[in-house]
A and B are shown apart, each in its own frame.
Chain A
Amino acid sequence: MLCEVPMQHLSELVTRHAQWSESKVAVSKWRPGGVFVEASYGALLRKARRLAALFARLAPPAAIVPMVTGRSADSIAAMLGAIAAARPFCFLNTKYRGPQIAAVLDATGSALGVVDAAGLVTLRSARRDHPQIARMTWVVLEEPALAGIYAEAAEDLRRAANVIFLCDEHECADTWIERPPHAGANAAAACLFTSGSTGQPKGVLISEADVMGRVAAEVNWYSLTQEDVLLNILPFSFDVGLNQLMTALAVGGEIVLLDSWLPADILATVERRRVTGISAVPSIWQDMINGGVHFDKGGRHASLRYITISGGSLSPEYLQRLSSFMGGVAIFKTYGQTEAFRATSLRPEEYDKKLESVGRPFPGVRVYVVRDNCTRCEAGEGGEVVHTGLGMMMGYLDSREAGTVPENKLRANPFYGDDDPSPLAIFTGDMGYLDEDGYLFLRGRRDSMVKVMGNRVYPQEVTNQVLTVPDVREAVVAGVTGEDGQTNLVAFVRVSSGSNLTPGMVRKMLNAKLPTFMVPKEIVFVDRVPYTASGKPDHGKLVEGLAANGSRAATALTL
């Protein structure tokens, strides 16, 4: 496939679009009352240039710029400004509160950060316990003047820290600042935080070459052009959401920002903005299916070309239902990790044939499945998924000494040589197999494999089956190890309100589908499945739930 996006950085591409068509809408955002506020390429460029000048003046070369912001035209301008000034940008997860924000700031060591109105409120609560927040300079994006609690929060931060209001800055915005000499394809352009199983945020550095390589690959994969209007519902702190944003801007299209995961909002936005593509996580599609809400491809939603299922999977039953429910809209499945962006993708034309697969390697990527001794598995044989090529991180932020990082996924590439020029590889920790046609199937996490009565079980496989039980809305299966050292499977299940389902009925249905050792010993009904800031099931809260249920004491929980 030809790469249509030349190797220029994103801010240069945005400059070109603004010169070509200054008033073309680059960003639109839903506001209360259902109004979409638009920002043109010209407006985006002018603001980005002011921010670039500010970053160049106030942040040391190559310093990471943390952004405590939501998704808006302003925060996108800040990202473009950081790229032009060659300061790696870092969107913080908006679920982060004091402890996580402090951990990120400690890791980046930044002296300059960016904050928007809601971020100001978060920082005000956080700074009481985390003095590093007040030791920085913060650029406040909002203009014109802030009101109400935002003004109070801004005043609070201004008393404690050095604060610059963008609206007070009158930098020349006719051109970009000169790009500093340290900039280049091999320098870090972005930093994403991922939380390992320890729950401590871990910074992942991505080079400019890789950022633009990802953009070019995805532009080709989804056949994006300036006619495209992409609906963004995923955070910029998540690589799938970030890459969607960057591809839309790279081709001169429109990105529509919607702060809602509700089916009715998604449908209305597709209709009103004539959306052509949506990248989403499985739970969004699951909610739409459960709600019985449909796209009308023949009518109101005729503009919609494709959707993605990213960042997780749906049970086979939901995958089948989604296909009929989409009525002609192309479905792409994608699989990847923060450390390695996208390993594989399943194309729409392969969807029915390989429903449960995550597809074949993404352009520029090599995928291997390996045994414990790093030799390659045969087709159909299970092992760990290893990724080389496009999407690999430069390394973790907290330690450039690869060997010292706990759970480091970056290791020597066992297949380094003429056929694979990458000296390093990402060991994903995901277990799976390749079939005879080279399609990847995932079974679960390496560290989640548990032994139940001597049998290897991946709790995720059991979760998929629990989700097929009618009236089950949400489920997490965990291996729970008791004080006697024995591991049992426990299913945490949320059922539809008003359902007559009992744990006994769930077990009976699972008995018909699974070998005995895979049927959870205990089935606990919960009001909601607890999640951590990064969207993973919360171990601590699940253990508390077990105690509340009168279950035996758990010493370890494996998900």
Chain B
Amino acid sequence: MRLRRETLLKFMEDALGVDTVAMDDETPLFSSGMIDSASMVDLMLFVESEANVKFSPDDITLDNLDSVGRILSFVADRHHE
């Protein structure tokens, strides 16, 4: 399954309380403090179940999750493998 940008943004809006209206694909999410790192696991679980991928704790890092663009391309890479 592909992870859709709209689905991801809606989750961030509804579950994490982030104002995504003006956000672009490069906006840092965690390193800017916009999303609390305690919510990281929530976001990861959502992406895993939505895209039907499983991340290994060895390779899932902040670099993969810190913006909408990074999340989408990380998931796309997983599917490609």
Q: Is the A/B pair a real complex?
A: yes
Find residues 132-158 in chain A having any chain B CB closer than 8 Å to their own CB: 148-149, 152-153
Is the CB–CB distance between B62 and A149 below 8 Å? Answer: no
The total number of A-B Cβ pairs within 8 Å is: 105
User: From residue A338, how far is it (CB to closest CB) to chain B in Å?
Assistant: 16
- Residues on A with C-beta less than 8 A from B34 are 70, 94, 118, 121-122
User: How far, in whole Å, are A94 and B60 apart by their CA atoms in the complex?
Assistant: 23
- Residues on B with C-beta less than 8 A from A94 are 33-36
Is the CB–CB distance between A97 and B17 below 8 Å? Answer: yes
Is the CB–CB distance between B49 and A527 below 8 Å? Answer: yes
User: How far, in whole Å, are A224 and B58 apart by their CA atoms in the complex?
Assistant: 30
- Residues on B with C-beta less than 8 A from A435 are none
User: How far, in whole Å, are A93 and B54 apart by their CA atoms in the complex?
Assistant: 30
A505 lies within 8 A of chain B by Cβ: no
Contact pattern, B 10-30, Cβ under 8 Å of A = 1, otherwise 0 = 000000010100111011101
User: How far, in whole Å, are A198 and B9 apart by their CA atoms in the complex?
Assistant: 30
- Residues on B with C-beta less than 8 A from A71 are 33
A268 lies within 8 A of chain B by Cβ: yes
Interface residues on A, range: 35 or more
Q: A263-B57, A527-B49 are in contact. Are A32 and B33 (CB under 8 A)?
A: no
A57 lies within 8 A of chain B by Cβ: no
Contact pattern, A 409-436, Cβ under 8 Å of B = 1, otherwise 0 = 0000000000000000000000000000
A264 lies within 8 A of chain B by Cβ: yes
User: How far, in whole Å, are A72 and B32 apart by their CA atoms in the complex?
Assistant: 9
Q: A149-B24, A264-B60 are in contact. Are A259 and B37 (CB under 8 A)?
A: yes
- Residues on B with C-beta less than 8 A from A30 are 31, 62
B31 contact from A122, A259, A287, A535, Cβ within 8 A: A259
Q: A32-B63, A293-B58 are in contact. Are A149 and B22 (CB under 8 A)?
A: yes
User: How far, in whole Å, are A31 and B59 apart by their CA atoms in the complex?
Assistant: 18
Q: A34-B63, A97-B17, A118-B33 are in contact. Are A260 and B40 (CB under 8 A)?
A: yes
9 closest A-B pairs by beta carbon, nearest first, are A70-B33, A291-B57, A260-B62, A125-B19, A118-B34, A149-B22, A118-B33, A118-B32, A259-B30
B interface with A by C-beta (< 8 Å): 17, 19, 22-24, 26-28, 30-42, 44-45, 48-49, 54, 57-63, 65-67, 70
